[in-house]
Structure 1
Protein backbone atom coordinates (compact mmCIF):
# COMPACT_ATOMS: atom_id res chain seq x y z
CA UNK A 1 0.00 0.00 0.00
CA UNK A 2 2.81 2.41 0.82
CA UNK A 3 4.46 1.85 -2.62
CA UNK A 4 1.20 2.34 -4.57
CA UNK A 5 0.43 5.71 -3.01
CA UNK A 6 3.55 7.49 -4.26
CA UNK A 7 2.95 5.98 -7.72
CA UNK A 8 -0.56 7.41 -7.80
CA UNK A 9 0.77 10.75 -6.61
CA UNK A 10 3.61 10.89 -9.21
CA UNK A 11 1.29 10.32 -12.19
CA UNK A 12 -0.56 13.67 -11.87
CA UNK A 13 2.75 15.39 -11.32
CA UNK A 14 4.16 13.82 -14.50
CA UNK A 15 1.13 14.86 -16.52
CA UNK A 16 1.38 18.37 -15.14
CA UNK A 17 5.07 18.51 -16.07
CA UNK A 18 4.30 17.41 -19.64
CA UNK A 19 1.56 20.03 -19.93
CA UNK A 20 3.89 22.73 -18.66
CA UNK A 21 6.57 21.62 -21.15
CA UNK A 22 4.09 21.81 -24.04
CA UNK A 23 2.97 25.26 -22.95
CA UNK A 24 6.56 26.42 -22.68
CA UNK A 25 7.32 24.93 -26.10
CA UNK A 26 4.40 26.74 -27.66
CA UNK A 27 5.41 29.93 -25.90
CA UNK A 28 9.04 29.71 -27.04
CA UNK A 29 8.04 28.79 -30.60
CA UNK A 30 5.61 31.68 -30.74
CA UNK A 31 8.21 34.02 -29.32
CA UNK A 32 10.73 32.96 -31.96
CA UNK A 33 8.17 33.48 -34.71
CA UNK A 34 7.28 36.90 -33.33
CA UNK A 35 10.99 37.74 -33.07
CA UNK A 36 11.53 36.75 -36.66
CA UNK A 37 8.66 38.98 -37.73
CA UNK A 38 9.80 41.89 -35.58
CA UNK A 39 13.51 41.75 -36.29
CA UNK A 40 13.38 40.91 -39.97
CA UNK A 41 14.39 37.31 -40.57
CA UNK A 42 15.78 36.37 -43.97
CA UNK A 43 13.35 36.84 -46.85
CA UNK A 44 13.94 36.27 -50.59
CA UNK A 45 13.90 39.96 -51.46
CA UNK A 46 16.58 40.78 -48.88
CA UNK A 47 18.77 37.89 -49.98
CA UNK A 48 18.37 38.84 -53.65
CA UNK A 49 19.17 42.47 -52.88
CA UNK A 50 22.36 41.48 -51.07
CA UNK A 51 23.36 39.23 -53.98
CA UNK A 52 22.69 42.07 -56.40
CA UNK A 53 24.94 44.47 -54.48
CA UNK A 54 27.67 41.85 -54.38
CA UNK A 55 27.46 41.33 -58.14
CA UNK A 56 27.47 45.06 -58.85
CA UNK A 57 30.66 45.35 -56.79
CA UNK A 58 32.34 42.94 -59.24
CA UNK A 59 31.71 45.54 -61.96
CA UNK A 60 32.28 43.27 -64.99
CA UNK A 61 31.72 39.56 -65.44
CA UNK A 62 33.59 37.62 -68.15
CA UNK A 63 31.53 34.44 -68.66
CA UNK A 64 33.12 33.46 -71.97
CA UNK A 65 36.47 33.83 -73.76
CA UNK A 66 37.27 32.59 -77.25
CA UNK A 67 40.30 32.55 -79.56
CA UNK A 68 39.99 33.17 -83.28
CA UNK A 69 42.46 33.05 -86.14
CA UNK A 70 42.28 35.34 -89.14
CA UNK A 71 44.01 34.63 -92.45
CA UNK A 72 44.08 37.57 -94.87
CA UNK A 73 46.01 38.39 -98.03
CA UNK A 74 46.65 41.64 -99.87
CA UNK A 75 48.07 42.15 -103.34
CA UNK A 76 49.37 45.22 -105.12
CA UNK A 77 50.07 45.52 -108.84
CA UNK A 78 51.77 48.08 -111.05
CA UNK A 79 51.97 48.62 -114.80
CA UNK A 80 48.96 46.49 -115.61
CA UNK A 81 50.12 43.57 -113.52
CA UNK A 82 53.63 43.40 -114.90
CA UNK A 83 55.03 43.84 -111.39
CA UNK A 84 53.24 42.87 -108.21
CA UNK A 85 53.62 42.11 -104.52
CA UNK A 86 51.49 39.91 -102.30
CA UNK A 87 51.51 39.40 -98.55
CA UNK A 88 49.57 36.98 -96.33
CA UNK A 89 49.02 37.36 -92.60
CA UNK A 90 47.90 34.72 -90.10
CA UNK A 91 46.88 36.50 -86.91
CA UNK A 92 45.33 34.86 -83.80
CA UNK A 93 43.49 36.86 -81.17
CA UNK A 94 41.47 36.42 -77.98
CA UNK A 95 38.07 38.01 -77.45
CA UNK A 96 36.29 38.47 -74.12
CA UNK A 97 32.52 38.44 -73.78
CA UNK A 98 31.54 40.61 -70.84
CA UNK A 99 28.50 41.55 -68.77
CA UNK A 100 28.51 45.01 -67.23
CA UNK A 101 27.04 44.14 -63.83
CA UNK A 102 27.03 47.81 -62.83
CA UNK A 103 24.06 48.18 -65.21
CA UNK A 104 21.98 45.80 -63.07
CA UNK A 105 19.56 47.77 -60.92
CA UNK A 106 16.82 46.96 -58.39
CA UNK A 107 14.20 47.19 -61.14
CA UNK A 108 15.96 44.36 -63.00
CA UNK A 109 15.36 41.89 -60.14
CA UNK A 110 11.83 40.78 -59.22
CA UNK A 111 10.64 38.05 -56.83
CA UNK A 112 7.44 36.10 -57.52
CA UNK A 113 6.29 34.54 -54.24
CA UNK A 114 3.65 32.41 -55.96
CA UNK A 115 6.11 30.52 -58.15
CA UNK A 116 9.17 30.99 -55.90
CA UNK A 117 10.95 32.47 -58.89
CA UNK A 118 13.44 35.33 -59.06
CA UNK A 119 13.45 37.04 -62.47
CA UNK A 120 16.62 38.87 -63.52
CA UNK A 121 16.87 41.12 -66.58
CA UNK A 122 20.42 41.20 -67.94
CA UNK A 123 22.23 43.87 -69.94
CA UNK A 124 23.41 42.76 -73.35
CA UNK A 125 26.70 40.91 -73.78
CA UNK A 126 29.61 43.19 -74.74
CA UNK A 127 32.57 42.19 -76.90
CA UNK A 128 35.99 43.35 -75.68
CA UNK A 129 39.10 42.93 -77.77
CA UNK A 130 40.51 41.34 -79.75
CA UNK A 131 43.77 40.91 -77.90
CA UNK A 132 46.00 39.86 -80.78
CA UNK A 133 48.93 37.51 -80.23
CA UNK A 134 51.77 38.97 -82.28
CA UNK A 135 54.18 36.29 -81.06
CA UNK A 136 52.06 33.69 -82.85
CA UNK A 137 51.44 35.83 -85.95
CA UNK A 138 52.90 34.70 -89.27
CA UNK A 139 53.51 36.81 -92.38
CA UNK A 140 54.35 35.43 -95.81
CA UNK A 141 54.99 37.15 -99.14
CA UNK A 142 56.47 37.02 -102.60
CA UNK A 143 59.81 38.79 -103.06
CA UNK A 144 58.95 40.44 -106.34
CA UNK A 145 60.34 43.46 -108.14
CA UNK A 146 57.70 45.76 -106.67
CA UNK A 147 58.76 44.80 -103.16
CA UNK A 148 62.37 45.55 -103.96
CA UNK A 149 61.85 49.03 -105.37
CA UNK A 150 58.95 50.31 -103.21
CA UNK A 151 57.55 50.02 -99.71
CA UNK A 152 54.85 47.69 -101.01
CA UNK A 153 55.54 45.06 -98.34
CA UNK A 154 55.08 47.53 -95.47
CA UNK A 155 51.87 48.90 -97.01
CA UNK A 156 50.48 45.42 -97.56
CA UNK A 157 51.35 44.42 -93.98
CA UNK A 158 49.51 47.44 -92.59
CA UNK A 159 46.49 46.64 -94.72
CA UNK A 160 46.56 42.99 -93.68
CA UNK A 161 46.71 43.84 -89.99
CA UNK A 162 43.75 46.18 -90.21
CA UNK A 163 41.74 43.60 -92.13
CA UNK A 164 42.75 40.81 -89.75
CA UNK A 165 41.60 42.72 -86.64
CA UNK A 166 38.30 43.54 -88.35
CA UNK A 167 37.91 39.88 -89.31
CA UNK A 168 38.56 38.75 -85.71
CA UNK A 169 35.79 41.07 -84.53
CA UNK A 170 33.44 39.75 -87.19
CA UNK A 171 34.12 36.16 -86.13
CA UNK A 172 33.53 37.09 -82.49
CA UNK A 173 30.10 38.55 -83.28
CA UNK A 174 28.89 35.52 -85.23
CA UNK A 175 25.72 33.72 -84.18
CA UNK A 176 27.29 30.61 -82.63
CA UNK A 177 29.84 32.25 -80.28
CA UNK A 178 27.30 34.90 -79.30
CA UNK A 179 24.79 32.20 -78.38
CA UNK A 180 27.42 30.39 -76.30
CA UNK A 181 28.49 33.62 -74.59
CA UNK A 182 24.91 34.65 -73.78
CA UNK A 183 24.11 31.23 -72.33
CA UNK A 184 27.31 31.25 -70.25
CA UNK A 185 26.43 34.70 -68.92
CA UNK A 186 22.88 33.64 -68.13
CA UNK A 187 24.02 30.57 -66.20
CA UNK A 188 26.67 32.51 -64.26
CA UNK A 189 24.16 35.12 -63.10
CA UNK A 190 21.55 32.52 -62.20
CA UNK A 191 24.08 30.67 -60.05
CA UNK A 192 25.13 33.91 -58.36
CA UNK A 193 21.54 34.46 -57.19
CA UNK A 194 20.34 30.93 -56.52
CA UNK A 195 23.25 29.91 -54.29
CA UNK A 196 22.65 32.57 -51.59
CA UNK A 197 18.90 31.92 -51.77
CA UNK A 198 19.43 28.22 -51.13
CA UNK A 199 21.94 28.97 -48.38
CA UNK A 200 19.30 31.14 -46.69
CA UNK A 201 16.88 28.20 -46.64
CA UNK A 202 14.91 28.79 -49.85
CA UNK A 203 15.73 25.42 -51.42
CA UNK A 204 12.82 25.60 -53.88
CA UNK A 205 13.77 29.03 -55.17
CA UNK A 206 14.34 29.31 -58.92
CA UNK A 207 16.21 32.02 -60.82
CA UNK A 208 15.38 32.85 -64.43
CA UNK A 209 17.68 35.33 -66.18
CA UNK A 210 16.96 36.82 -69.59
CA UNK A 211 18.51 39.59 -71.66
CA UNK A 212 16.82 42.91 -72.22
CA UNK A 213 16.93 42.43 -75.97
CA UNK A 214 15.72 38.82 -75.82
CA UNK A 215 12.64 38.33 -77.93
CA UNK A 216 13.13 41.65 -79.73
CA UNK A 217 14.64 42.55 -83.08
CA UNK A 218 17.69 44.10 -81.38
CA UNK A 219 20.08 41.24 -80.68
CA UNK A 220 23.41 42.62 -81.91
CA UNK A 221 26.27 42.55 -79.36
CA UNK A 222 27.72 45.77 -78.06
CA UNK A 223 31.19 46.24 -79.56
CA UNK A 224 33.68 47.87 -77.18
CA UNK A 225 36.64 47.09 -79.42
CA UNK A 226 39.36 49.66 -79.98
CA UNK A 227 41.03 50.89 -83.15
CA UNK A 228 43.27 48.28 -84.72
CA UNK A 229 46.39 50.42 -84.18
CA UNK A 230 45.67 50.49 -80.43
CA UNK A 231 45.18 46.73 -80.45
CA UNK A 232 48.49 46.13 -82.21
CA UNK A 233 50.39 48.64 -80.04
CA UNK A 234 49.17 46.95 -76.88
CA UNK A 235 50.13 43.54 -78.24
CA UNK A 236 53.60 44.84 -79.10
CA UNK A 237 54.17 46.09 -75.53
CA UNK A 238 53.38 42.60 -74.19
CA UNK A 239 56.06 40.95 -76.34
Structure 2
Protein backbone atom coordinates (compact mmCIF):
# COMPACT_ATOMS: atom_id res chain seq x y z
CA UNK A 1 0.00 0.00 0.00
CA UNK A 2 1.51 3.33 -1.11
CA UNK A 3 1.98 5.83 1.73
CA UNK A 4 1.08 9.45 1.22
CA UNK A 5 3.71 12.14 1.86
CA UNK A 6 3.24 14.01 5.09
CA UNK A 7 2.66 17.71 4.59
CA UNK A 8 3.47 20.08 7.42
CA UNK A 9 0.98 22.82 7.80
CA UNK A 10 2.00 26.33 8.80
CA UNK A 11 0.85 25.87 12.41
CA UNK A 12 2.93 22.70 12.68
CA UNK A 13 6.03 24.47 11.30
CA UNK A 14 5.58 27.32 13.78
CA UNK A 15 5.15 24.82 16.59
CA UNK A 16 8.30 22.94 15.55
CA UNK A 17 10.34 26.15 15.45
CA UNK A 18 9.00 27.15 18.84
CA UNK A 19 9.96 23.80 20.34
CA UNK A 20 13.47 24.08 18.83
CA UNK A 21 13.93 27.56 20.27
CA UNK A 22 12.77 26.40 23.68
CA UNK A 23 15.17 23.45 23.56
CA UNK A 24 18.00 25.78 22.48
CA UNK A 25 17.29 28.12 25.35
CA UNK A 26 17.18 25.23 27.78
CA UNK A 27 20.48 23.78 26.52
CA UNK A 28 22.16 27.18 26.49
CA UNK A 29 20.93 27.92 29.98
CA UNK A 30 22.18 24.58 31.19
CA UNK A 31 25.61 25.23 29.72
CA UNK A 32 25.70 28.69 31.28
CA UNK A 33 24.69 27.26 34.66
CA UNK A 34 27.32 24.56 34.31
CA UNK A 35 29.97 27.14 33.53
CA UNK A 36 28.99 29.12 36.60
CA UNK A 37 28.94 26.04 38.81
CA UNK A 38 32.09 24.34 37.57
CA UNK A 39 33.97 27.37 36.24
CA UNK A 40 35.36 28.07 32.80
CA UNK A 41 38.96 28.91 31.95
CA UNK A 42 40.25 31.67 34.19
CA UNK A 43 43.15 33.99 33.34
CA UNK A 44 45.40 32.53 36.03
CA UNK A 45 45.00 29.03 34.58
CA UNK A 46 45.68 30.26 31.04
CA UNK A 47 48.73 32.21 32.22
CA UNK A 48 50.06 29.17 34.10
CA UNK A 49 49.73 27.00 30.98
CA UNK A 50 51.50 29.65 28.89
CA UNK A 51 54.25 29.87 31.52
CA UNK A 52 54.83 26.12 31.45
CA UNK A 53 54.98 26.19 27.66
CA UNK A 54 57.54 28.99 27.71
CA UNK A 55 59.68 27.28 30.34
CA UNK A 56 59.78 24.21 28.11
CA UNK A 57 61.39 26.34 25.37
CA UNK A 58 64.33 26.89 27.75
CA UNK A 59 66.01 29.83 25.99
CA UNK A 60 64.55 32.57 23.81
CA UNK A 61 66.72 34.50 21.33
CA UNK A 62 64.79 37.72 20.65
CA UNK A 63 67.67 39.64 19.10
CA UNK A 64 70.86 38.91 17.12
CA UNK A 65 73.44 41.47 16.05
CA UNK A 66 76.68 41.45 14.07
CA UNK A 67 79.64 43.64 14.97
CA UNK A 68 83.03 44.32 13.40
CA UNK A 69 86.13 45.18 15.35
CA UNK A 70 89.23 46.79 13.83
CA UNK A 71 92.27 46.84 16.11
CA UNK A 72 95.97 47.49 15.58
CA UNK A 73 99.03 46.70 17.66
CA UNK A 74 102.50 48.12 17.21
CA UNK A 75 105.80 47.26 18.80
CA UNK A 76 108.97 49.30 18.62
CA UNK A 77 112.50 48.64 19.74
CA UNK A 78 115.78 50.51 19.79
CA UNK A 79 114.03 53.77 20.35
CA UNK A 80 111.74 53.33 17.35
CA UNK A 81 114.49 52.44 14.89
CA UNK A 82 112.85 49.06 14.25
CA UNK A 83 109.13 48.41 14.54
CA UNK A 84 106.32 46.09 13.53
CA UNK A 85 102.59 46.74 13.26
CA UNK A 86 99.66 44.38 12.74
CA UNK A 87 95.98 45.14 12.12
CA UNK A 88 93.06 42.75 12.58
CA UNK A 89 89.56 43.11 11.15
CA UNK A 90 87.32 40.70 13.04
CA UNK A 91 83.53 40.35 12.59
CA UNK A 92 81.43 38.48 15.13
CA UNK A 93 77.81 37.59 15.85
CA UNK A 94 76.19 38.07 19.25
CA UNK A 95 72.95 36.52 20.49
CA UNK A 96 70.84 38.20 23.13
CA UNK A 97 68.99 35.52 25.10
CA UNK A 98 66.33 35.15 27.76
CA UNK A 99 66.59 32.11 30.02
CA UNK A 100 62.90 31.22 30.24
CA UNK A 101 63.64 28.40 32.67
CA UNK A 102 64.21 31.11 35.29
CA UNK A 103 60.55 32.18 35.09
CA UNK A 104 58.41 30.85 37.91
CA UNK A 105 54.90 31.37 39.22
CA UNK A 106 55.93 34.32 41.40
CA UNK A 107 57.05 36.19 38.28
CA UNK A 108 53.54 36.11 36.77
CA UNK A 109 50.82 38.17 38.50
CA UNK A 110 47.20 38.71 37.40
CA UNK A 111 45.36 41.88 38.45
CA UNK A 112 41.64 41.26 37.99
CA UNK A 113 40.82 44.92 38.68
CA UNK A 114 42.72 46.10 35.59
CA UNK A 115 42.70 42.85 33.56
CA UNK A 116 46.50 43.08 33.49
CA UNK A 117 49.03 40.26 33.61
CA UNK A 118 52.42 41.44 34.86
CA UNK A 119 55.48 39.33 34.01
CA UNK A 120 58.89 39.88 35.60
CA UNK A 121 61.52 38.82 33.09
CA UNK A 122 65.00 37.45 33.69
CA UNK A 123 67.75 39.78 32.58
CA UNK A 124 69.02 39.63 29.00
CA UNK A 125 72.12 37.47 28.57
CA UNK A 126 74.78 37.91 25.91
CA UNK A 127 75.99 34.75 24.16
CA UNK A 128 79.07 35.18 22.02
CA UNK A 129 80.73 36.72 20.23
CA UNK A 130 80.86 33.96 17.67
CA UNK A 131 83.69 35.25 15.53
CA UNK A 132 83.58 34.74 11.76
CA UNK A 133 87.00 33.24 11.07
CA UNK A 134 86.40 33.10 7.31
CA UNK A 135 85.81 36.84 7.20
CA UNK A 136 88.67 37.80 9.54
CA UNK A 137 91.52 39.74 7.94
CA UNK A 138 95.01 40.43 9.27
CA UNK A 139 97.37 43.00 7.81
CA UNK A 140 100.89 44.01 8.76
CA UNK A 141 103.94 46.05 7.92
CA UNK A 142 107.00 44.02 7.06
CA UNK A 143 110.21 45.17 8.70
CA UNK A 144 113.46 44.15 10.32
CA UNK A 145 111.76 43.47 13.65
CA UNK A 146 109.28 41.08 12.04
CA UNK A 147 112.02 39.26 10.20
CA UNK A 148 114.30 38.59 13.17
CA UNK A 149 111.74 37.99 15.95
CA UNK A 150 108.34 36.43 16.54
CA UNK A 151 106.84 39.88 17.03
CA UNK A 152 104.10 39.36 14.45
CA UNK A 153 102.75 36.33 16.30
CA UNK A 154 102.68 38.26 19.58
CA UNK A 155 100.96 41.21 17.93
CA UNK A 156 98.37 38.89 16.34
CA UNK A 157 97.56 37.33 19.72
CA UNK A 158 97.22 40.75 21.27
CA UNK A 159 94.96 41.90 18.44
CA UNK A 160 92.71 38.87 18.79
CA UNK A 161 92.21 39.39 22.51
CA UNK A 162 91.58 43.10 22.02
CA UNK A 163 89.16 42.46 19.15
CA UNK A 164 87.05 40.00 21.18
CA UNK A 165 86.98 42.46 24.09
CA UNK A 166 85.90 45.20 21.68
CA UNK A 167 83.12 43.01 20.25
CA UNK A 168 81.84 42.36 23.77
CA UNK A 169 81.95 46.07 24.54
CA UNK A 170 79.97 46.88 21.41
CA UNK A 171 77.40 44.18 22.22
CA UNK A 172 76.88 45.52 25.74
CA UNK A 173 76.50 49.16 24.78
CA UNK A 174 73.30 51.07 25.46
CA UNK A 175 71.64 51.00 22.03
CA UNK A 176 71.82 47.23 21.25
CA UNK A 177 70.95 46.37 24.84
CA UNK A 178 67.86 48.57 24.65
CA UNK A 179 66.83 46.96 21.35
CA UNK A 180 67.41 43.45 22.73
CA UNK A 181 65.45 44.14 25.92
CA UNK A 182 62.54 45.58 23.98
CA UNK A 183 62.53 42.64 21.56
CA UNK A 184 62.51 40.22 24.50
CA UNK A 185 59.72 42.11 26.20
CA UNK A 186 57.53 42.07 23.09
CA UNK A 187 58.15 38.37 22.45
CA UNK A 188 57.14 37.39 25.98
CA UNK A 189 54.09 39.66 25.98
CA UNK A 190 52.87 38.04 22.75
CA UNK A 191 53.44 34.57 24.21
CA UNK A 192 51.02 35.39 27.04
CA UNK A 193 48.47 37.62 25.34
CA UNK A 194 47.70 35.23 22.46
CA UNK A 195 46.47 32.33 24.65
CA UNK A 196 44.53 34.79 26.83
CA UNK A 197 42.74 36.16 23.77
CA UNK A 198 42.13 32.65 22.46
CA UNK A 199 40.47 31.81 25.80
CA UNK A 200 38.13 34.76 25.42
CA UNK A 201 39.92 37.40 27.47
CA UNK A 202 40.04 39.98 24.69
CA UNK A 203 40.58 42.89 27.07
CA UNK A 204 43.53 41.31 28.85
CA UNK A 205 46.78 43.27 28.89
CA UNK A 206 50.23 41.81 29.37
CA UNK A 207 53.04 43.99 30.71
CA UNK A 208 56.54 42.47 30.83
CA UNK A 209 59.23 44.16 32.92
CA UNK A 210 62.84 43.47 33.78
CA UNK A 211 63.94 43.37 37.43
CA UNK A 212 66.34 46.27 36.72
CA UNK A 213 63.66 48.32 34.96
CA UNK A 214 64.31 51.99 35.48
CA UNK A 215 67.99 51.66 36.40
CA UNK A 216 70.27 54.00 34.43
CA UNK A 217 72.73 51.29 33.42
CA UNK A 218 72.09 47.58 32.98
CA UNK A 219 75.08 45.25 32.84
CA UNK A 220 74.36 42.20 30.62
CA UNK A 221 75.36 38.74 31.73
CA UNK A 222 78.40 37.66 29.71
CA UNK A 223 78.44 34.12 28.31
CA UNK A 224 81.02 34.89 25.63
CA UNK A 225 84.03 32.81 24.63
CA UNK A 226 87.53 33.96 23.86
CA UNK A 227 88.87 34.23 20.33
CA UNK A 228 91.41 31.50 21.04
CA UNK A 229 88.67 29.10 22.19
CA UNK A 230 86.77 29.64 18.94
CA UNK A 231 89.98 29.28 16.92
CA UNK A 232 90.91 26.01 18.62
CA UNK A 233 87.40 24.64 18.01
CA UNK A 234 87.58 25.58 14.31
CA UNK A 235 90.94 23.86 13.93
CA UNK A 236 89.63 20.67 15.53
TM bin (shorter chain): 0.7 to 0.9
Give the aligned CA root-mean-square deviation in angstroms: 2.4
- TM-score for the superposition, normalised by structure 2: 0.88
Gaps of at least 5 residues in structure 2 are 1-11
Question: Is the CA contact (8 Å cut-off) linking 2:61 and 2:95 kept in structure 1?
Answer: yes
Question: Is the CA contact (8 Å cut-off) linking 2:73 and 2:155 kept in structure 1?
Answer: yes
Task: Say if 1:75 and 1:22 are closer, same or farther in 2 by CA, change over 3 A.
Answer: same
Q: Does 1:125 align with 2:119?
A: no
In structure 1, the partner of 2:79 is 80
Gaps of at least 5 residues in structure 1 are 1-12
Aligned partner of residue 80 in structure 1, secondary structure: helix
Moved more, 18-27 or 177-186: 18-27
Aligned partner of residue 204 in structure 1, secondary structure: coil
Aligned partner of residue 186 in structure 2, secondary structure: helix
In structure 1, the partner of 2:113 is 114
In structure 2, the partner of 1:45 is 44
State the alpha-carbon separation in 2 of the partners of residues 115 and 65 from structure 1: 34
Question: Is the CA contact (8 Å cut-off) linking 1:134 and 1:236 kept in structure 2?
Answer: no
State the alpha-carbon separation in 2 of the partners of residues 212 and 34 from structure 1: 43
State the alpha-carbon separation in 2 of the partners of residues 224 and 195 from structure 1: 31
State the alpha-carbon separation in 1 of the partners of residues 47 and 35 from structure 2: 18
Q: Does 1:189 align with 2:188?
A: yes
State the alpha-carbon separation in 2 of the partners of residues 14 and 129 from structure 1: 75
Aligned partner of residue 202 in structure 1, secondary structure: coil
State the alpha-carbon separation in 2 of the partners of residues 168 and 18 from structure 1: 75
In structure 1, the partner of 2:4 is none
In structure 1, the partner of 2:133 is 134
In structure 2, the partner of 1:156 is 155
Aligned partner of residue 80 in structure 2, secondary structure: coil
- How many residue pairs match? The answer is 228
CA deviation after TM superposition for structure 1 residue 73, in Å: 0.3
Question: Is the CA contact (8 Å cut-off) linking 1:190 and 1:207 kept in structure 2?
Answer: yes
State the alpha-carbon separation in 1 of the partners of residues 130 and 14 from structure 2: 79
CA deviation after TM superposition for structure 1 residue 233, in Å: 2.5
In structure 2, the partner of 1:169 is 168
State the alpha-carbon separation in 2 of the partners of residues 233 and 201 from structure 1: 54
CA deviation after TM superposition for structure 1 residue 26, in Å: 4.9
State the alpha-carbon separation in 1 of the partners of residues 235 and 62 from structure 2: 27
CA deviation after TM superposition for structure 1 residue 24, in Å: 4.8
CA deviation after TM superposition for structure 1 residue 43, in Å: 1.3
